[in-house]
Every structure is written in structure tokens, then in C-alpha cells.
Amino acid sequence: MKSNQKLLIMFWIKKSKATKDGKAPLYARITIDGEDEEIAVSRKCHPEFWDTDIKRVTESSAEARITNLSIAEIELNLERQFIVLQSQHEKITPLMLKNVYLGLPVNFDKSVTPIVEDKKETTLLEVYTDFINRFQKQVIKGKRSKETLKHWNSAKKKVAEFIKFQYSATEVNLLDIKFSFAEKYYDYMTLEVDKPLSEVSAKGHIKKLKQILKGCVSKEYITKNPIQDFKCSGGEKDVEPLEMEQVQRIYYKDFGITRLEEVKDAFIFQCFTGFAYQDVYALSRENIIKVGNTGELWLIKDRGKTKVSEMVPILPIVQEIIDKYKNHPYCIANNCLLPINSNARYNGYLKEIADICGILPINEDDHGLGTHKARHTFADMMLNNGVPLEDVSKMLGHKSIRTTQRYCKVRKHRISENMGKVKSILFTREGKLKEVS
């Protein structure tokens, strides 16, 4: 069975749906026996670069080439599917061809079973930009952290670099993102770049991408998250705390250079308070609170990251550092406790301190001396000296004790101490196994 009907395919640009960047979406019009249907091409272009005669984009860019390839592919697929339908049906309508092209039943009628067909067309980086703009407003109102905003800007930059590398384009349409996008993105970050990321860091960027695409589903830009099944769990970054001997080595070292002395004091301050960099940076005298009948001095502050209150009694070594800088010009002018550098300089100077003090990374995954290592050192110090996990969690400002458990490290002296207790129960002083009474 073969009909003698003729198929006409025309591509056109819908200027009425142009977005803020001036680009308008492309559509394909299927015409059979005077009847027609439209199909969204899921591509955009500037009207000035659309040639109405040849029905192609004339702009000389990689993105334009991809658009033209998409147009040619759609045209070829429609023609092939039309030929198949001719062999199966006596009369073919544009709706039948459209249904087959969209993967729907041939005689599907949306007036009987409505579907969401013309999804909002947007690109991945547009969504990232929109998310970051909203996040920035939250930062201005003090609801979110500036440091987290930096991470999101970095995530957007990383995705943009990948799109340019993988597709020779400046953007990718949301509807074109498949599961393989995440796989290729992960390989790019861990294998292709000059400075490959660790497995944990790369999966962190994938996790952010999943969050962005999940939001796109909620807004009905796409029907499902194409990379939802990509596994980002496992391989958490393991930050090794310092041994107390290493902390003392830094504390007692006289560097003779003001910038290194200030960074040393800030790092020691972190080691004995557990405060993160951004929270130490923002500490003022208003955060020193008298607690209880004895008027014990505590540092109390809402964490910039979680907004959970962290509270730590001020140990003598911390008070010593606070007193040292109470008349420092920078601290007076900025109402802060310590003259803290930018995060990049702070970590850079800590590398110098590590070299001078002979504190080397213990393995290839250890990033060496850094601000976050001080926080882990504090947690390790507290837990290994008998402070309950719940108390350490509160001091660190964690939302969940499960987060605090990641900071737990089993030390050799603890194993030795506990094994000694077992030894005294099971064996005599002469090393003989005790008889069961």
C-alpha cells in the first residue's frame, strides 16, 4: 500500500518568540495535501542570520553549524518516516507524520489526550545565570554565603569551558542534554584539562549540574532530569587533621615576617575554635559573649554556610591571640578580631608555613596545610579528648551529626588505649589467658 501524496517541509523562524538575547526559535512546518503541522526544532538563531530562501543559518559560527546540521537531520528523518508511512497507510496526514517523529502513536490526538509538547526552549548556561542571579540576591540579603556564590560561578565557568571543548559551541539546548553529557563532562574534568580535578571535585560539579537540571524539571523546561541516574556518591574528600605535635610546631615557630605571623595566629585560632575561614573573617567583638554565672567567655556566631549557630568556649590560646590583635589598625578599622587575608592569600601563605615547618602532605589526596584542615584538626582534637559527638557537632555549627561523623578519626593512641583495657581483662600481667570464672 503506497499513497501518491507529496510531502513539503519548510523551516521558518518565529520572531514573536524572540528571547532577551535577540534569538528566535526555529520551527519545521509539515504540509501534506494543503494541511500542515508545526514541529519545534529546539534551536534558536538571530533573525538577521536566517536565510529565508535556503532555510539555513548564515552566521559563520560553530553554533550555527550545529543548528544547520539539526535542520538537515530533521528534514531527512521526516522524509524517511513519510516513506515508511506511505507503505503502511492509504492516506497520511501531517499529524500522523508529526506523531511518528515525536515517538507517539500514529493516530494520537492531543485534543483527546492532551500532552505538553512545546516546552519552553532555553539553554543550560541561561539557567545557570538565572540561578546565580537569584542566589546573588540572597547573598545581598545575608541569607546565603558569598563563598558558596563563588563556587556556583566557578561551576558555571567549568560547564561553559566543557561545552566549548566538547561541542565547539557557546551554549547547549536543555532538550539536547542526554545522560552521556554527564559522562563526557566528568571525563573532561578528570582527564582532558591541563590540571585534572579529583574524583570528588569532579562529582561535586556534576552534583551542581544535577541540581540545576532538577530545577529545570520543576519549571517544566524539560520533562525529566537526563542525568538523574549519574552516581555522585562515594569517594568523599578525606581531610587529614594535623597531629598535636604539628600544631605545636607551627605555634612555637617564630617566622619573623608579619604576614606569616598573622596567618599563623589565624590558623592556630581556627585549630582551637573550629571556625571556618569565612566565619573567622567575619568575627567581631560582638561575637564574644559571657555565658553562665561565672561569665565564661564564648564565641557565638551563625555559620555563614548553614546559618546554624556555632558556639565555642574561648580557650586560653584563643584569648591570647584575640588580645594580641585588639589594637591592630586593621581590626579597629574593620571591627574584626583578626587581620585576615583573602582566602587565596591565606591558603598561599599557609603553604609557605608548611614548607618552613616541614609539614608535608601525607598522600596524593592530601592538599596540605589549608584553612579547612584547621577545622578538621579542631574536631579531631575534641573527639579524641572525650568531648561527645553531639557537643562537637554544635561547636562546628553542623546541621546534622552525620556531617560531624565524617570528621572522626581513629588515632593509634586510642586503639592502643582501648586494646590495653581489653588486654587487662583477658590476660594476666604475665601474658597468660585468664580462666573464665
CB-CB contact of 318 with 272 (8 Å): yes
Q: Is the pLDDT of residue 2 over 60?
A: no
CA 280 – CA 297 distance, rounded (Å): 16
User: What is the pLDDT at residue 329?
Assistant: 92
Q: What is the mean pLDDT of residues 305-311?
A: 74
Query: What letter does residue 190 receive in the DSSP assignment?
Result: I
Locate the DSSP E strands across 211-272. none
User: What is the pLDDT at residue 262?
Assistant: 94
Strands 288-291 and 296-302 turn out to be antiparallel
Report the SS3 class of residue 277. helix
CA 45 – CA 330 distance, rounded (Å): 53
CA 81 – CA 65 distance, rounded (Å): 24
pLDDT digits (tens, 9 = 90+) for 120-157: 468 999 999 999 999 998 888 767 777 788 889 999 99
Q: Which of 25-34, 62-71, 229-238, 387-396 is the least confident region?
A: 229-238
Q: What are the residues whose beta carbons fall under 8 Å from the beta carbon of 163, sequence distance 6 or more? A: 124, 125, 169, 170, 171, 172
Architecture of domain 244-414: Orthogonal Bundle (1.10)
Please indicate whether residue 385 or residue 415 has the higher confidence score (pLDDT). 385
Q: Is the pLDDT of residue 3 over 80?
A: no
Helix (H) or strand (E) holding 153: helix 146-167
At residue 236 the predicted structure's pLDDT band, cuts being 50, 70 and 90, is low
What rounded mean pLDDT belongs to the chain? 84
In the block, residue with C-alpha cell 583578626: 338
Please indicate whether residue 233 or residue 188 has the higher confidence score (pLDDT). 188
Q: What nine digits make up the cell of 136?
A: 546573588
pLDDT digits (tens, 9 = 90+) for 90-126: 888 999 888 888 877 887 766 654 444 444 468 999 9
At residue 254 the predicted structure's pLDDT band, cuts being 50, 70 and 90, is very high
Q: What nine digits make up the cell of 95?
A: 499529524
Q: Is the pLDDT of residue 14 over 60?
A: yes
pLDDT > 90: percent of the chain: 29
Q: Is the pLDDT of residue 330 over 50?
A: yes
In the block, residue with C-alpha cell 549519574: 230
Dihedral of CA atoms 286, 288, 290, 296 in degrees, nearest 10, equals -170
Q: Read off φ and ψ for residue 117, nearest 5 degrees.
A: -110, -50
- Residue 102 identity: L
Q: Is the pLDDT of residue 406 over 70?
A: no
pTM of whole model > 0.75? no
Q: Where are the alpha helices (DSSP H) in 188-241?
A: 199-218
User: What is the pLDDT at residue 99?
Assistant: 85
Helix (H) or strand (E) holding 130: helix 124-140
